[in-house]
Structure 1
Amino acid sequence: MLPANVPADHPPITAPRTGILIANLGTPDGYDYWSMRRYLNEFLSDRRVIDYPAWKWQPLLQSVILTKRPFTSGANYKLIWNEEQGESPLMTITRDQTKALRARASEEWGDQVMVEFCMRYGNPSTDHVLDRMIEAGCRRIVFLPLYPQYAGATSATANDQLFRALMKQKWQPSVRTCDAYFDRADYIAALAASVSRVLGDRKPGRLVASYHGMPKRYLLEGDPYHCQCQKTSRLLQEALGWEDGIIDTTFQSVFGPEEWLRPYTVEHVAELAQRGVSDIAVISPAFASDCIETLEEINGEIRESYEHAGGQNFTYIPCLNDDAAHIEVMLNVIRENTGGWVSTD
């Protein structure tokens, strides 16, 4: 319905709202070859992820990597695929997180806000979701990349994609991007609670905090990710009240010939077993949602590395996912970024 002073032929006017948009990494639409190839091509063509010159990288990517890797990656996705819903666990979990966050935001702000999610790679795309939110009247948007620690290859590329989508809009909404939340007290408390929930009173010989890796060169070029991971681990140890040396910070998912951040998780757990550490637990504080890197890589390759080296007791501690404490962390971050945009009356 148009206001009284607007001409009858004016385009429809929607009541203004504040949008809350959370962004996760992404997922292929299926584990078949072509779905995997499309997804991997988008992911591995991102200059934030692989920053080699295009003339050098793209021929290798298109002719070699994307010929072989969709088969191996697809096989790994098949192992964890949510066949009932026809999607990857990351998609299922992100949708559940959005549903829970939407319910909490509605309790607090009613219909003043609209809560949606997008994926940096794959579907639903940032472009598509942003279009839909603007059409629904979102003149202000709070954007929360679901990466507790900031990295150029995660938080920054999610922001980049949002900004590219905004460039296509005739009438751009105001936007606030949220900071990383790696050292927030509520996030650390949620991590500590998840450890206690899984382990109970048991203290493992070592808790391995396995973070997604990146080339060491990125750290030397100024990326803060490594330092933020180290601080998360230290704060988690303090929150648990454990002694120094019981939590190890490691990095997984190494790709390509460069040296990446060390120690590598897959090698470190084997070394622990060889040193006689017969009971370890692994947690993934860099992942907001369980995904291929946790459900298949940690519970598959990394578990096998530990057990083949003689380790006996391996426990994986799931990501925070849609745990109520995690949803409250998200809501708190969003609340701090909606100042002046929504009314709490």
Structure 2
Amino acid sequence: MKKAVILFNLGGPDKLENVRPFLFNLFYDPAILNLPKIIRYPLAKLISKRREPVAKKIYEELGGSSPILKLTNEQANNLEKKLNEEKNGNEYKCFVVMRCWNPRANEVIQNVKKYNPEEVILLPLYPQYSAATSGSSIKEWHDVCENEQYKVKTSTICCYPTDDNFVQAHKNEIMKKIDKLENFKLIFSAHGLPEKNIKKGDPYQWQVEQSVDKIVESLNIKDLDWILSYQSRVGPLKWIGPSTDDIIVKNSKLGKHIVLVPIAFVSEHSETLVELDIEYKELADKHGCRNYSRVPALGTNENYIKAMSNLIINKQDYNFNGKVFPPKVQCPNKFKKCPCLSYE
């Protein structure tokens, strides 16, 4: 049986002149700016124009483009190889779909049609579900399928915040960094969200907390000094906290060895390679930090690839309604944006 696996990620500009259109795609997404199209379009144009200079400087630090497509393709290739090693009578092919830059869903669906699978499996490369990330990508895929009148059995693995192999992957990478360290602060850093998103029922923060709790438990280190914080705050709205930059300043002044863990990013990109590695390190240095380390994003970590492979092959173990395959420990009912609670 032929199965297509669609891996969703955000994407990033492939050259500096594409920074502004990338930003426009980001802010034109109704999951980011929940406004009528007639207002959202000019506002997205304005925001992308204003943010272009700062964003360009960030991508200049990365050599003029984002590495996220190359790295996501490597993940897709490793996952496809792992899936097809199982010899379970199924043939798998992985396709990468980016939400805000190429390859977009309306392009990739043509390649999926040519492959002609009997089932399509949607798998976001966001371990923790948010309506602004996984939800937006999943919705776009379904919209494109409807526009293309493409009908095929479709299964969605919405999230995997506490998957055993995902947790093990993080544990392994963290232990490589903290082995033999003393007087360190382990800072789990996730991309933030406006507080209003959480109040409207987005389960993201709750799922991130579940991830961190499981990883800390797996580390099994007595009196481990750790904290969860949130980065990439922009705009005037109140965001969930505490903020990673505040935590870095506080612990730098205390003389702690800072060890950062990107808990919600599985690929290296601007938020890890520039914000964490350059901007936050400069902030730490300014406030007296003498030792600063960062755990790498999971990338093609063997256990992470195994996590995704097992979720796909064993998805019936997580069957919710024949279409959505969530973790067995599901979101509390107050998180109405959870696909298990909002699925129509």
Q: TM-score, normalised by structure 1?
A: 0.86
Could you say if the C-alpha distance between residues 204 and 326 of structure 1 is closer, same or farther in structure 2, counting changes exceeding 3 Å? farther
Q: Secondary structure at the match of 2:86?
A: helix
1:11-160 to structure 2, matched below 5 A, reads 17-32=2-17, 35-52=18-35, 54=37, 57-63=40-46, 65-81=47-63, 88-109=66-87, 112-160=91-139
Q: Which moved more, 1:330-339 or 1:127-136?
A: 330-339
Structure 2: 5+ residue stretches without partners: 323-344
Amino acid at match of 1:69: R
Which residue does 1:303 correspond to in 2?
281
121 and 61 in structure 1: CA distance in 2 versus 1, 3 angstrom threshold: closer
Matched, 1:162 2:144: no
CA contact (8 A) 2:67 2:269 kept: yes
Matches within 5 A, 1:321-336: 321-336=299-314
SS in 1 for 2:79: helix
Aligned mates of 1:204, 1:330 — CA distance in 2: 35
Residue matched to 2:329:
none
Q: 1:196 to 1:312 in 2, by over 3 A?
A: same
- Code of the residue aligned with 1:236 in structure 2: it is I
Q: For residues 171 and 68 of structure 1, do their structure 2 counterparts lie closer, same or farther at Cα, with a shift above 3 Å needed?
A: closer
Displacement of 1:318 in angstroms is: 0.6
Instruction: Give the SS at the match of 1:223.
Output: coil
Shift, 1:58, TM fit: 4.2
For 1:310 and 1:234, locate their aligned partners in 2 and report how far apart those are by CA, in whole Å.
29
Matched, 1:195 2:178: no
| d(CA) in 1 for partners of 2:66, 2:183 | 31
Change over 3 Å in CA distance of 1:114–1:60 after alignment to 2:
closer
Give 5+ residue unaligned stretches, structure 1.
1-15
Give 3-state SS (helix, strand or coil) of 2:123's partner: strand
Deviations 1:253-305 (A, max 9, x none): 1111000001111122101222x132110011101111110110011111111
The CA deviation string for residues 51-71 of structure 1, in whole angstroms up to 9 with x for no partner, is 2455555444323x2223222
Deviations 1:211-260 (A, max 9, x none): 00000111111111111111211111111112456111000011110000
Q: 2:164–2:307: 8 Å Cα contact kept in structure 1?
A: no
CA drift of 1:185 comes to 1.4
**CA, structure 1 residues 306+54, in 2 after alignment: closer, same or farther (shift >3 Å)?**
farther
The equivalent of 1:318 in structure 2 is: 296
Contact 2:166/2:304, CA 8 A, preserved across alignment: yes
Bigger drift between 131-140 and 331-340 goes to: 331-340
Query: Is the alpha carbon distance of 1:137 and 1:338 closer, same or farther for their aligned partners in structure 2, counting shifts above 3 Å?
Result: farther
Cα distance in 2 for partners of 1:324, 1:45 equals: 36
- Aligned counterparts of 2:49 and 2:306: Cα–Cα separation in 1: 43
Distance 1:316 1:280 in 2: 8
Q: Is the 8 A contact 2:21 2:48 kept in 1?
A: no
8 Å Cα contact 1:142-1:337 kept in structure 2: no
- The residue that corresponds to 1:224 in the other structure is 203
Write out per-residue CA displacement over residues 66-109 of structure 1, whole angstroms, 9 at most, x where no aligned residue. Answer: 2232222122112113x7xxx52211110111111111112124
CA contact (8 A) 2:27 2:48 kept: no
Number of residue pairs aligned between Structure 1 and Structure 2: 318
Q: Distance in 1 between matches of 2:223 and 2:142?
A: 42
Matched, 1:240 2:219: yes
Q: Which one is further off, 238-247 or 256-265?
A: 238-247
Paired-residue identity, %: 25
Rg: which structure is higher?
1
- Maintained 8 Å contact 2:5/2:95: yes
TM-score, normalisation: structure 2 = 0.87
Cα shift readout 1:319-341 (whole Å, capped 9, x = no counterpart): 00011111111101111237899
Q: Match of 1:121, SS?
A: coil
CA–CA distance in structure 2, aligned partners of residues 216 and 312 of structure 1: 33
State the superposition RMSD in angstroms.
2.1
Aligned to 1:4: none
State the alpha-carbon separation in 1 of the partners of residues 127 and 252 from structure 2.
Answer: 29
